[in-house]
Amino acid sequence: MKETFFAAAQDPTLQTFENEVWWIVLIKLLGVFVILLLLTLFTINYERKVVARMAVRPGPNQVGPKGWLQSLSDGMKLPFKEEIIPKTADKVVYFIAPVISATVAFTAFSVIPFGPVVSIFGHKTALQLTDVSISVLVLLACSSMAVYGVVLAGWASGSTYPLLGGLRSAAQMISYEVAMGLSIVAVFMTAGTMSTSQIVKAQAGNDPVTYDILGWHPTTPSWYAVLLLPSFIIYCISAVGETNRAPFDLPEAESELVGGFHTEYSSFKFALFFLAEYINMITVSAFATTLFLGGWRAPWPITEFWAGANSGWWPLLWWLGKVLILLFGFIWLRATLPRMRYDQFMRFGWKVLIPINLVWILFLAGVRVARQELSGASLAVTIAVAAALILVIALLWPASRKPRQLSLEEQIASRPPGSFPVPPIDLQVPPSPRARRAVAERAPATVGGGTTETSDDAPDKEV
Q: What is the pLDDT of residues 252-309, one digit of tens each?
A: 777 777 777 888 888 888 888 888 888 888 999 999 999 999 888 888 778 777 777 8
Domain boundaries, position 204: 2-391
- Give per-residue pLDDT as tens, 145-177: 888 888 888 888 888 888 888 888 888 878 888
| pLDDT score of 435 | 67
Q: Does the model's pTM come out above 0.95? A: no
The total domain count for the chain is 1
- Residue 410 domain-assigned? no
Half-sphere exposure of 27 (CA within 13 A, CB side): 12
Answer yes or no: is 83 within a domain: yes
pLDDT of residue 287: 92
407 lies in some domain: no
d(CA 268, CA 423) in angstroms, rounded, equals 46
In a domain, 450, yes or no: no
From residue 351, how far is each of 175, 258, 357 by CA, in Å? 10, 29, 11
**Whole-angstrom Cα distance, residue 35 to residue 262?**
26
Integer Cα distance of 174 and 197 in angstroms:
28
Averaged pLDDT, 325-343: 87
> Residue 451 falls within a domain, yes or no?
no
pLDDT in tens, 76-116: 888 888 888 888 888 888 888 888 888 888 888 888 998 88
- Whether residue 228 is contained in a domain is answered as yes
Say if 138 falls within a structural domain.
yes
- Cα separation of the two ends of the chain: 99
64 assigned to some structural domain: yes
